[in-house]
Every structure is written in C-alpha cells, then in structure tokens.
Amino acid sequence: MIFRRIATAWSSFWFSPHSTINITWIRILLGATSLVWGLALIPDFETFYFDDGLFAEPRYGAYHTGVLQWLRQDWAAVAVLGVLLASSLLVTFGYLVRLAAPILFYALMSLQQDIPVLMNASDNLLRIIAMYFAVFALLTPSRYLSLGPRGIKREDQSRRWPVGPAWILRILQLQLTIIYLDTAIEKSTGSRWHNGTAASIALGLEEFERFYVPEFVRTNLIMGNIGTWLAIGLEATLPLLLWNRRTRLIGVVLGVGMHFVFDYAMRLGYFFPGMFIAYIAFMRPGDWAKIKALPGRVLRRRAATPADPLLPKPA
C-alpha cells in the first residue's frame, strides 16, 4: 500500500496534466532570448570565430561534441550562427518545433563550446534550458508545441487552453531550486557575505555597471549591509516560498523582482531572461491577473478606514 501511494505521488508529480500556457510562454521566451543572444554575436563574430581571429585554435574537452571542433572553416561558423537564428525564430513562432528545438540547442552548444572563455553562467543557463526543451520537444506530441501566445488556433479561440504533460515544468522548477540552494551555500562561506560588504563591492565594479545607481547606495555601509543580507536571505528562502502553495505567488514576485534589480544595476548577460523562463514554470493560469491586481488591493486596504465604534450605526 505504501509503495503504491509513493508510486502514485511520483507519477502525479511528474505527469499530472497542466495547462499548456506555461509551456507556450517558455517556448516563446526561449526562442526570443536565443535569437537576441545570436544577434549580439554578429558585431564581433569575425573576431571571435574566424580563423584569423583571436581564437584561431580553441581547445576542446574530450566530452565536447560541438560541430565547430570538426569544421574549422569560417563558412561553418557563419552557417551555425545562421542555423541558430533560423531555429530561434521557428521556436519563437511555434513552427516545426520538434525539429527546430534540438537544432537550436545544438547550434547554441556549438557556438558556446568553441569560445568558452567568452561565456558565463547566464550562457550556461540558457544552454541548459534549451537542452531541457529540446528533449521535451522530441518526446511530446506536436499539438502541445505550436500554440500561440494568446490561445490556440483561431478556430479554437472559444475553448480553454488544453492540458498537457508537465514534466518539463517540474524539471525547470527543480533547476531553479538547485540554483538557489547552491548559490546560498556558496555565499554562506564567503567572508564578504558575512561582513555585509558583498553588495557594495559588486555595485562598485564599473565594468559591470549597466544603469545609474545613486552614489549613496553604492558607498553607504548600511545600504550595503541591507542589500547583502537581503540578497542571501531571499536566495535561501525562495525555494521554500515557491514550493508552498500559499506563498508561491509571493515567491514569484520577490524572485523576479530581485533578478530585475540585479539586471538593472549590473551587466549579468542573459541571467535575468533565463531565470524568468524558469519562474514561468511556477506560474499558473490567472496568476498574472492576481499580480496586476495586487497594488490596487493594497491601496484599497489603506484607503479603507474602520468605523468608529462610538458612532451610532445607521438605521
């Protein structure tokens, strides 16, 4: 009996039907982010990937399988970039996704493995998400992969979103949880996180500066301590908030807000889009409407004044 319950819970966790709206937005944002990632390579593509560039003979690990380690010609690098951009568009707009998603992952991996010195954790996260979605696309019926952002096809607008397999959402949820747990553990051993100066040091790195941050935020010790402990506190508690039904939406708002602030202040590559894609896995139909209504609810509660118990009640 116990084993049957465990098996039922395991099956329900991975394969219970969920609305495909999450999967659709994950696909669209993955394709759009990959498209922007590829377009950003174009201005310096010749310098980085051509034979007479900075990295004419890149070193590959034994486990690498990128196509550019075998095809070293300049035209091959250009072809891989072209394939990346084309497959990104197909994934974004939902055409031939079962074929385009694996090609997108392989092209992304090939370009990243060729010049690993240029890549950072945000590029790795984008590649990991692309790999998850490529496997999902290969194993999932095409009818769950080609839905538009506003519904199904035009003739099916009156119907609700169909339900489909949810294991891709679970994988992204677990990936996000592992990222936060690993980050919190790593930061807990750092002396700058212990003394509360990590945030101030990060904001003081001019090469990572993106948009304007007031000087007192950068240099004030109190603000630095608040930012440091707020960051590590959120990263340690967000997994608990996200996996709890009652606090899930609060966790989504706090987590996305935290990464938006990080991305505003510092150049972190594509980390914010990658984390945002993973956060969509925790969303449910109707959550966006609840989030938009939240400020209005708070304002209405503040505007409402309790009745004076000494005043007579109206007849």
Does residue 155 carry a pLDDT above 70?
A: no
pLDDT in tens, 290-307: 777 777 766 676 666 555
What's this model's pTM, rounded to 2 decimal places? 0.84
The values of phi and psi at residue 119, to 5°, are: -90, 160
The structure tokens 């553990």 sit at 185
Question: Residue 309 forms beta bridges with which residues?
Answer: none
Mean pLDDT of 97-118: 91
| Domain boundaries, given as residue ranges, for the chain | 18-152, 166-285
Distance of CA 178 to the CA centre of its chain: 13
**Of 168, 33, 25, 175, which is closest to residue 108 (Cα–Cα)?**
33
pLDDT in tens, 49-101: 887 777 667 667 667 788 888 887 888 889 999 999 999 999 999 889 999 99
Of the candidate ranges 121-125, 243-247, 286-290, the one whose mean pLDDT is the lowest: 286-290
Q: pLDDT at position 92, please? A: 93
**Of 159, 157, 156, 100, which is closest to residue 130 (Cα–Cα)?**
100
d(CA 171, CA 167): 6
Does residue 157 carry a pLDDT above 60?
A: no
Binned at pLDDT 50, 70 and 90, residue 164 comes out as confident
Helices (H), the chain: 2-15, 21-41, 45-49, 74-93, 97-114, 121-139, 167-188, 191-194, 198-203, 215-219, 221-243, 248-265, 271-280, 287-303
